[in-house]
Amino acid sequence: MVAQLGNEACRAFNATWNNLQPDNYLSVGNGTRERRICKFEYRQRDRRWKTLENCHFFQTQAHNPLLGGIQRTYARSETSFTGSPVLQTLLAADLALLDLTVGHRDWLVTCHQFRIPCDEHSAGQATPEGRHRDGHDFVFQHLIQRQLVIGGESRVFHENGETVFSATLTDYMETVVLNDRTLLHEVSPLQKPHASSNPGTRDMLIIDFDLTEH
C-alpha cells in the first residue's frame, strides 16, 4: 500500500529520521539512540483521528527495568512526519488488521521514531532493557531502513520462553506485529560489518495501540 504513494512521498517520510533527537534517558553503557514520538486518539464511531500534543511516555519497571518508573518526555515528531501520507497509510493498514482481530474499537496510538547507531567501537542496542514487554495492547514494528549493519534480529517469545518468531528485517516496511499482552520481544545487537567513516544505523517506526474507553 505504501509503495503506491510513490518514491517521492516515501523519501520525504524516510528523511524525517535524519532529524531525530538523542535519547538522553539512556545511561552510559546502555547504548545510544535517537527518537521522537507523537500521539493520536482514534474514535471508531466517526472514524476520526485526533492529534495529541502530549509527548510524555511512561512504562512500569515491571515492563522496563532499565527506564521504567519515570515519566519521560521526548521531542515531538515533525509535521513532515505526522502529516505524511505514508504515516496515514500505515495507520490505516495497522488499524484494519486490528479491526479484524479485536473488532472496531477506540485507541490511543503512540508512534515512536527510532534510530539505533553503531560503529566499530560500540554495538547498537535496539532493546537495551533485554527481553521484555512494552506494556501496551498491540505493537507494530515497521522497518524504515538499515545501513552498514549486520545483526538486529527480531525475536518474539511466549511467556514460557518458547521462541515464536525470529527474523532479521531487511526490506522497507517489513513488519512484526505483537500482542504485547501475551508475548515478549527483543532485538539482537547491531554491528558494523567493516570500517567506514559513517556509522551504521537501523531506523524503525514502532506504533503502539492501547484500547481506550469513552
Given this model, what pLDDT does residue 85 score? 95
Q: For residue range 189-199, list pLDDT tens digits in order.
A: 999 887 677 88
Q: Is the pLDDT of residue 29 over 50?
A: no
Q: Is the pLDDT of residue 75 over 50?
A: yes
State mean pLDDT over 134-155: 94
Would you say 178 and 98 are in contact if contact means Cβ atoms under 8 Å apart? Answer: no
Which pTM was predicted?
A: 0.90
State mean pLDDT over 100-127: 89
Percent of the chain with pLDDT over 90: 62
Q: Which residue has the higher pLDDT, 47 or 203?
A: 203
Query: And the C-alpha cell for 69?
Result: 518508573
Q: Is the pLDDT of residue 63 over 70?
A: no
Q: Is the pLDDT of residue 69 over 60?
A: no
Distance between CA 44 and CA 48 in Å, rounded? 7
Q: Taking the domains of the chain in order of start, what are their residue ranges?
A: 2-211
State mean pLDDT over 132-139: 87
Which pairs count as long-range contacts for 53-57, CB under 8 Å and 24+ apart, including other chains? 57/110
What's the Cα-to-Cα distance from 165 to each of 55, 162, 170, 201, rounded to whole Å? 31, 9, 15, 23
Helices (H), 83-182: 85-102
Q: pLDDT band at residue 58, thresholds of 50, 70 and 90?
A: low
Given this model, what pLDDT does residue 166 score? 96
Given this model, what pLDDT does residue 49 score? 93
Distance between CA 83 and CA 101 in Å, rounded? 27
Q: pLDDT band at residue 83, thresholds of 50, 70 and 90?
A: very high
Supply the mean pLDDT for the chain: 87
Q: For residue range 6-15, list pLDDT tens digits in order.
A: 889 999 999 9
Given this model, what pLDDT does residue 135 score? 83
Given this model, what pLDDT does residue 122 score? 79
Would you say 75 and 174 are in contact if contact means Cβ atoms under 8 Å apart? Answer: no
Helices (H), 16-155: 79-82, 85-102
Which pairs count as long-range contacts for 92-99, CB under 8 Å and 24+ apart, including other chains? 93/1, 94/140, 94/207, 94/209, 95/42, 97/177, 98/138, 98/209
Distance between CA 206 and CA 111 in Å, rounded? 6
Fold of 2-211: Jelly Rolls (2.60.120)
Q: Which residue has the higher pLDDT, 212 or 6?
A: 212
Q: For residue range 156-165, list pLDDT tens digits in order.
A: 999 999 999 9
